[in-house]
Structure 1
């Protein structure tokens, strides 16, 4: 999945696959997580958020199924 770099102290880049509604988050420490059944508008809001990490914590984590890859 192609990811775009974001300005964040913890997150390196984020990607989104619109066909499977999968959000991929790569962290500076090398960890990569995929979140499933995420609406595209959540991805757009995440990329444009003033705090990408804050948006992830408040709107994605705990709301969508995920897997560490």
Structure 2
């Protein structure tokens, strides 16, 4: 999996595992979260969005299960 630095207010870099459909996010705060069942189009949409934070908050965060590896919390 390759990591991509992104220009977003709170996100530092993202990685996408195409085989497992997992979106990995490293935050500027040091948090590390994995979103599951993410499709290619959401990943591409995030990368190409002019407002990555808004895209993430509307199209990914509320729609996919995730695990916060920083806190060990799953939702």
Distance in 1 (alpha carbons) for counterparts of 2:19 and 2:34 = 14
Which residue is 2:72 aligned to?
Answer: none
Contiguous gaps of at least 5 residues in structure 2 = 70-75
Contiguous gaps of at least 5 residues in structure 1 = none
Deviations 1:39-58 (A, max 9, x none): 01100110111111111100
Q: Which runs of 4+ in 1 moved over 2 A?
A: none
TM-score by length of 2: 0.87
Which residue is 2:58 aligned to?
Answer: 58
Distance in 1 (alpha carbons) for counterparts of 2:58 and 2:38 = 14
CA RMSD of aligned residues (A): 0.9
Shift of 1:2: 2.6
Whether 1:34 and 2:47 are equivalent positions in the alignment is no
User: Looking at CA atoms only, which structure, 1 or 2, has the larger radius of gyration?
Assistant: 2
Tell me the matched-pair count. Answer: 69
Distance in 2 (alpha carbons) for counterparts of 1:14 and 1:52 = 11
